[in-house]
């Protein structure tokens, strides 16, 4: 990639705020003295995936839930915020990064969220793209290992070489998150565009300004019920 093009994927953004002191400290703390770039990225991936609780019950109208430093401070977030945090951490250690989006059909949700969204299709589902060994690879740090283990689902691994996108639904991998539409990649979170589409697509969810409750417990109950009954 040409140097003039790579600069935007290393610079701090409004949401990928890789210049925030807490983000810098977080990335450096978890990378430690690792000198191998791929190993450092894998450690950051595992740290964000498992150390930040996946929680779509956050207020989707609040910019803080889309910003790396905001997600880090809350120690929880949904896919967009977690992907943004991983991208910011990568930039801290000098790895070019960007955020990508797709519309997906998600089998790992709660009945309450389904009823609020009125669909199991989620637009602007986010992943992170990282520039490693001369090519872009996709990583999806959304569902933390604690959630997956409780739901009897294999956590989504990432080896730094192959794209990591498809979350298995059960240990045999018989069902997974289905990608329906690719929306491309961005140097920073396109917050205003996402907000405008969320308001139209999920009016009840957006007007709730966040839900009280334990998404982990509710989603696990739904998944285990499906695994037992097949419905």
pLDDT in tens, 118-139: 888 999 999 999 999 999 999 9
pLDDT tens per residue, range 135-176: 999 999 999 999 988 888 888 999 999 999 876 555 555 455
Query: Does the model's pTM come out above 0.75?
Result: yes
**Is pLDDT of 230 > 60?**
no
**Token reading at 111:** 């009945």
pLDDT tens per residue, range 18-29: 999 999 999 999
Q: State the first-to-last Cα distance of the chain, in angstroms, to the nearest integer.
A: 47
Collapsing DSSP to helix, strand or coil, 179 comes out as strand
Structural domain including 217 reads 3-229
Nearest by Cα to 51 from 73, 70, 75, 84: 75
CA atoms of 183 and 196, how far apart (whole Å): 15
**Token reading at 92:** 């801290």
Q: How far is CA 180 from the centre of its chain?
A: 17
pLDDT tens per residue, range 190-225: 999 999 999 999 999 999 999 988 998 888 787 666
Comparison of pLDDT for 5 and 144, the residue scoring more? 144
* CATH number of the CATH domain containing 68: 3.10.620.30
**Is pLDDT of 44 > 70?**
yes
Number of structural domains (the chain) is 1
DSSP designation for 121:
E
CA atoms of 172 and 79, how far apart (whole Å): 24
What percent of the chain clears pLDDT 70, i.e. is strictly above it?
Answer: 90
């Amino acid at each position: 990639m040409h140097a003039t093009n790579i600069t935007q994927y290393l610079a701090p953004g409004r949401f990928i705020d890789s210049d925030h002191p807490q983000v810098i400290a977080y990335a450096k703390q978890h990378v430690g003295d690792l000198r191998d770039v791929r190993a450092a990225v894998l450690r950051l991936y595992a740290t964000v995936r498992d150390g930040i609780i996946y929680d779509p019950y956050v207020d989707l109208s609040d910019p803080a839930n889309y910003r790396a430093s905001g997600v880090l401070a809350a120690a929880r977030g949904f896919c967009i915020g977690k992907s943004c945090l991983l991208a910011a951490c990568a930039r801290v250690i000098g790895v070019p990064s960007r955020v990508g989006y797709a519309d997906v059909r998600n089998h790992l949700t709660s009945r309450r969220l389904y009823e609020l969204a009125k669909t199991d299709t989620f637009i602007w589902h986010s992943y992170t793209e990282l520039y490693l060994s001369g090519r872009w690879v996709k990583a999806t740090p959304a569902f933390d290992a604690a959630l997956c283990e409780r739901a009897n689902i294999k956590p989504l691994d990432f080896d730094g070489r192959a794209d990591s996108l498809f979350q298995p639904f059960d240990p045999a991998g018989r069902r997974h998150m289905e990608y329906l539409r690719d929306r491309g990649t961005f140097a920073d979170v396109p917050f205003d565009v996402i907000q405008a589409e969320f308001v139209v697509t999920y009016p009840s969810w957006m007007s709730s300004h966040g839900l009280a409750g334990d998404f982990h417990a509710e989603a696990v109950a739904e998944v285990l019920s499906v695994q037992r009954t097949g419905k």
